Structure 1
Amino acid sequence: MKVLMTEYLQIDLETEKWECRVCGHVIGPASESYKEGLLVHNRDPREIHPPIIDPEKYRFTFSPDPEWVRILEYCCPGCGTQAEVEYAIPGHPPLHDMQPDLPALKAQWARRGEMGEAVVGPAVVPDQGHNH
């Protein structure tokens, strides 16, 4: 049975593995951080939050200082889907943000039954024949 954990991650309770919900790529053991099995792009925060004022004239530009913050983008090695983004202190290890209780999940979902897949991506609304 596969349990949806985030928009892009699920756990296969039979194998106790993290999986990508988009392509099904096995990321790693669910007893460990899913981030260990994903690709990581260490972004310069100035790429995401560009300076508001001229950095040639001013030291503080309202853009994050890369000596104080980094932006980590975690992507599936199978399909490239971005599963998580984390703002972190340079040199600090990635946050271990989810530690699922696998025995409790197995017991809960054994009683509940498997849940159907949620919609990933934008919803499509059928054309109702109205003129635009």
Structure 2
Amino acid sequence: MKVLVTENLRIDLDRETWECRHCQAELVSARDNYKRGLLVYDRDPREIHKPLLDPAKYARTYSPDPQWCRILEYYCPKCGAMIETEYLPPGHPPVRDIEFDIDALKLQWQDREEVREVPVGEEPPRPRGHSHAGHRH
């Protein structure tokens, strides 16, 4: 069973691995940070956010200072699809932004049918026997 997580990632619950949704490449254990299985490009933030003022004349140019900010871009090592980006202070480790209890996820999906693509504008499929009747937030 494969579970869609983001537009770029899914988890294969049988193999317990993160996968690229673009090329189906196996990335790393689903119990680990998916970013460990990706290629990382440490970008100079001035490449993305060009200075608005002349750096030869002004110390502050409205562009991020690379001594205070870095941009990490994460790519699939097989197909090169960009999977994620994040802004971090230099020296900060990559953020673990998605973490699942894999055993609980397996239980949650044991009675569901696999969803290959979520139809745009439609509710995702619910487990058999699940109803919204009487449900309140």
TM-score, reference length from structure 1 = 0.87
- Aligned identity (percent) is 57
Distance 1:105 1:31 in 2: 11
Distance 2:18 2:108 in 1: 18
Displacement, 1:98?
A: 1.1
The answer as to 2:32 corresponding to 1:18 is no
CA 1:118–1:78: 2 relative to 1, 3 Å:
farther
TM-score, reference length from structure 2 = 0.84
Q: Which structure 1 residue ranges, 5 or more long, are not aligned?
A: 120-132
Displacement, 1:103?
A: 1.1
Q: Over aligned residues, Cα RMSD in angstroms?
A: 1.0
Distance 1:97 1:79 in 2: 22
Displacement, 1:108?
A: 1.1
Distance 2:50 2:107 in 1: 48
Deviations along 1:29-58, whole A, 9 cap, x unmatched?
Answer: 000000001000000000000000111100
Q: Secondary structure at the match of 2:79?
A: coil
Aligned to 1:123: none
Checking the alignment, whether the CA contact within 8 Å between 2:4 and 2:116 is kept in structure 1 is no
How many pairs are equivalent? 119
Checking the alignment, whether the CA contact within 8 Å between 2:17 and 2:29 is kept in structure 1 is yes
Deviations along 1:57-93, whole A, 9 cap, x unmatched?
Answer: 0000000000000000000001000000010010111
Superposed, which structure 2 residues align to 1:1-132 within 5 Å? 1-118=1-118
Q: Which structure 2 residue ranges, 5 or more long, are not aligned?
A: 120-137
Question: For residue 27 of structure 2, what is the amino acid of its counterpart?
Answer: I
